[in-house]
Amino acid sequence: MPDSLWSQDSVIHARGLTKRFGAFTAVDGIEFDVAPGEAFGFLGPNGAGKTSTMRMIGTVSPVTAGTLTVFGLDPAHHGAQIRSRLGVVPQADTLDNELSVLENLLIYGRYFGLSWGESRRRAGELLDFVQLTERSGDKVEPLSGGMKRRLVIARALINEPEMLLLDEPTTGLDPQARHLLWDRLYRLKQRGVTLCLTTHYMDEAEQLCDRLVVMDKAKIVAEGSPRQLIERYVTREVLELRFNHEGGEAGDGIGGGGAAGLAGADRSTGEGADFDGQLAGLAERIEHLPDRLLVYTADGDATAAAAFERGLRPASVLVRRSSLEDVFLRLTGRSLVE
Amino acid sequence: MMAASTPEAARRGLPFGLTSHSSFRVLEHDLLVFRRGWHSYILSGLSQPFLYLLSMGVGLGYYVNRNGGIPGGVPYLDYIAPALLVTQAMMVASAESAWPLMSKIAWEKTYLAALNTPLGATSLLAGDLMWIAFRATLISVLFFAVILLFGAVSSPLAILAIPVALLTAMSFAAPIMAFTATQETDQPFNMLFRFGITPLFLFSGTFFPIENLPLFLRPLAWFTPLYHGVSLARGLSLGQIDPVADLVHLAVLIAFVAAGLVAARITFRRRLEV
């Protein structure tokens, strides 16, 4: 689709979007569009440029170069106007510990220009929506992490935004709190609120996002729906073969090939050529990890059986569906990002 | 795209991109916090002047007055009362411009939440300046009430010590806010108070005329806004008006406020709009 058409329909439209801090390039010429009502995700390791991108969309950080429009408006000139239609859930809670739960919402409503009465009405509804009504008069400090996040989401909704920007919304929350939050975000999406979020949780991206981009080292390295990304970058299934280290050749190394397999596993960082040889033709791609082999294949069970026939005797065999995590690791590598 | 430019143009025309209401919303926030603890503000606002005037003005003043007194024959209580009023307002405003602001910028980061609303950095600055002005005014009014209680005024002009105290407070608040916005930790504030604010409080003509300072220190006092605030308030309180000197005092105070505002606007934007 031509650019001009996109920019008119898009809630966010970015071309060559760049953010530099001095000599450091945080975002390097990325391009994407977000359609109204869509749930769009930025996936990437720490330092990939997700938060910088979100801050530019939120018009709190000036664009260094390139084009960015939000609701068709230029953040450089219409920042306040864009922000009045946005809800922002920042990475840090930034709640006001000097105020009560309710007051945190009330004053935020005032910041958006609501009357006290309207602010109070919406705050009541929102506390209900995020299940915090009974904590309304409490101070913020003693709330649990999950409650604080819910309050931040309620706060972001006080201006009835057309789009919600969420920067790692569930980082640090326990599973119950995450699921409650996902449920609330899903309901918002159903009401037509556009969601734009960053995460490094693959399950979160798969749960919430219609479409996402994977960012790595300030650039977008892949774009598509979770399903499309899995199809494009990994196989349908992954066969995980684990070999015993301690047991030596005993136990699993029965067949001739098994012994070779064991040797290969022990030289984990090494060539692993023995495996590749034995599994040749069975898999699209094989990844060697210190303790196991990941065999990317369309049919895990069939591949496992074939490997068995060829004499491999792993200690354990696991067949699973490929996930975004596999895509993510494939694209951004396994080395630790500090 | 056509409609895009009009609402922005509709922002009412205050300088620096302030909308006419936005900074008052920030003030509302501070007043909401104030509402929770207003009684403690009032209590400390009354007890401080009471303690100072009783110990220094009455207690110490007894000996000062008996031993020749202050040049000009003014009772010591009357001499220090307006000066203490001004210094108290200055101290409160200075402290408020340091730690609480640091918290909003860097610790609790409530400014960052506010910046996600239509408010901008300049609205935050203007709103919190108004809050500090409110606190300084409150402190000054309470202090003045206690001064009246001690009967330590000799002129109806004394009430003008309140606006002078406010102006002096802001001549500290604005530059300190500018400074705070450039800091990463609160370490420098301890230095600022230990080697800046406290010595000024003691040596700006608060407790004795600066003519008693060593010759080489006197010009230093002329360059501190506190000396000018204290001199102006004292003159009004004692009914001793010196139009030329008083205009100079006023001009210096206004210059410090103006320079502080310009600097704060720059450092706020540099810190918050990155």
**CATH code of the domain covering residue A30:** 3.40.50.300
Beta carbons of A60 and B115 less than 8 Å apart: yes
Q: Is residue A79 within 8 angstroms of chain B, CB to CB?
A: yes
Residue A321 has pLDDT above 60, yes or no: yes
| Inter-helix orientation angle A116-129/A145-156, to 10° | 140
pLDDT digits (tens, 9 = 90+) for B123-160: 999 999 999 999 999 999 999 999 999 999 989 999 99
Cα(B30)–Cα(B13) distance, rounded to whole angstroms? 24
Cα(A259)–Cα(A313) distance, rounded to whole angstroms? 8
Residue A248 has pLDDT above 60, yes or no: no
Of A81, A83, A110, the CB nearest to B116: A83
- Which among A319, A244, A253, A239 has a CA at the least distance from the CA of A286? A239
Cα(A287)–Cα(A238) distance, rounded to whole angstroms? 10
* A262 and A212 part of one domain: no
What is the predicted pLDDT for the residue at B219?
A: 84
Residue A334 in domain: no
pLDDT digits (tens, 9 = 90+) for A227-238: 899 889 989 899
Q: Which residues contact B59 (CB under 8 A, 6 or more apart)?
A: none
What is the predicted pLDDT for the residue at B126?
A: 96
Q: Is residue A72 within 8 angstroms of chain B, CB to CB?
A: yes
Best of B8, B115, B131, B273 to disrupt the A interface by mutation (most A CBs within 10 Å)?
B115
Residues of chain B with Cβ-Cβ distance to A112 below 8 Å are 117-118
Band of pLDDT at residue A258, cut at 50, 70 and 90: very low
Residue A132 in domain: yes
* A96 and A187 part of one domain: yes
Residue A336 in domain: no
DSSP 3-state percent helix, strand, coil across chain B (nearest 5): 80, 0, 20
* A243 and A271 part of one domain: yes
Q: Is residue A210 within 8 angstroms of chain B, CB to CB?
A: no
Best of B1, B24, B41, B117 to disrupt the A interface by mutation (most A CBs within 10 Å)?
B117
Residue A333 in domain: no
Band of pLDDT at residue A263, cut at 50, 70 and 90: very low
- How far is B61 from chain A, CA to nearest CA, in Å? 42
* A60 and A197 part of one domain: yes
* A202 and A135 part of one domain: yes
Domain that holds residue A271: 237-321
Residue of A nearest to B7 (CA): A81
- For B209-223, what is the mean pLDDT? 86
Band of pLDDT at residue A333, cut at 50, 70 and 90: confident
pLDDT digits (tens, 9 = 90+) for A180-236: 999 999 999 999 999 999 988 888 898 899 999 999 999 999 999 998 998 899 898
Tokens encoding A327: 């895509």
Angle at A116 between CA A112 and CA A118, to 5 degrees: 75
What is the predicted pLDDT for the residue at B20?
A: 54
Q: Which residues contact B7 (CB under 8 A, 6 or more apart)?
A: A78, A81
- Which among A30, A103, A215 has a CA at the least distance from the CA of B35? A103
Residue B229 has pLDDT above 80, yes or no: yes
Residue A66 in domain: yes
Of A88, A94, A98, the CB nearest to B109: A94
Residues of chain B with Cβ-Cβ distance to A81 below 8 Å are 4, 7-8, 118
Residue A268 has pLDDT above 70, yes or no: no
- For A319-333, what is the mean pLDDT? 88
Handedness of CA B168, B174, B179, B184 (dihedral sign): positive
Q: Where is average pLDDT lowest: A112-116, A179-183, A239-243, A252-256?
A: A252-256
Of A77, A94, A112, the CB nearest to B118: A112
Residue A330 in domain: no
Contact A41, A169 (CB under 8 A): no
- For A7-14, what is the mean pLDDT? 83
* A199 and A248 part of one domain: no
Cα(A155)–Cα(A148) distance, rounded to whole angstroms? 10
Cα(A44)–Cα(A49) distance, rounded to whole angstroms? 8
- For B25-50, what is the mean pLDDT? 94
Q: Is residue B114 within 8 angstroms of chain A, CB to CB?
A: yes
Of A225, A246, A276, which marks where a domain is finished? Answer: A225
Q: Which residues contact B50 (CB under 8 A, 6 or more apart)?
A: B146
Beta carbons of A80 and B120 less than 8 Å apart: yes
* A163 and A122 part of one domain: yes
What is the predicted pLDDT for the residue at B201?
A: 92
Of A184, A202, A225, which marks where a domain is finished? Answer: A225
- Which among A186, A111, A120 has a CA at the least distance from the CA of A156? A111
Residue A13's beta-bridge partner residues? A33, A69
* A221 and A245 part of one domain: no
What is the predicted pLDDT for the residue at A257?
A: 39
Position A268: which residue type? Answer: S
* A154 and A184 part of one domain: yes
Of A184, A204, A225, which marks where a domain is finished? Answer: A225
Q: Is residue B118 within 8 angstroms of chain A, CB to CB?
A: yes
Q: Is residue A115 within 8 angstroms of chain B, CB to CB?
A: no
Cα(A127)–Cα(B181) distance, rounded to whole angstroms? 34
Cα(A273)–Cα(A264) distance, rounded to whole angstroms? 7
Which DSSP category does A161 fall into?
-
Number of domains chain A is built from: 2
Residue B4 has pLDDT above 60, yes or no: no
Beta carbons of A61 and B273 less than 8 Å apart: yes
What is the predicted pLDDT for the residue at A271?
A: 41
Of A60, A86, A107, the CB nearest to B32: A107
pLDDT digits (tens, 9 = 90+) for A48-95: 999 999 999 999 999 999 999 999 999 999 999 999 999 999 998 899
- Which among B164, B71, B174, B75 has a CA at the least distance from the CA of B128? B174
Q: How many CA atoms lie within 13 A of A92 on its CB side?
A: 13
Which of helix, strand or coil describes residue A139? strand
Beta carbons of A94 and B4 less than 8 Å apart: no
Band of pLDDT at residue A101, cut at 50, 70 and 90: very high
Beta carbons of A94 and B108 less than 8 Å apart: yes
* A56 and A122 part of one domain: yes
What is the predicted pLDDT for the residue at A201?
A: 84
Share the mean pLDDT of chain A: 87
* A180 and A254 part of one domain: no
The strand pair at A285-288 and A237-242 is best described as unpaired
What is the predicted pLDDT for the residue at B137?
A: 98
What is the predicted pLDDT for the residue at B13?
A: 45
* A160 and A285 part of one domain: no
What is the predicted pLDDT for the residue at B22?
A: 87
Residue A329 in domain: no
Cα(A57)–Cα(A38) distance, rounded to whole angstroms? 16
Band of pLDDT at residue A41, cut at 50, 70 and 90: very high
Residue A152 has pLDDT above 60, yes or no: yes
pTM: 0.86
Mark out the alpha helices in B53-118 (DSSP H runs). Answer: 61-66, 76-102, 110-115
Residue A256 in domain: yes
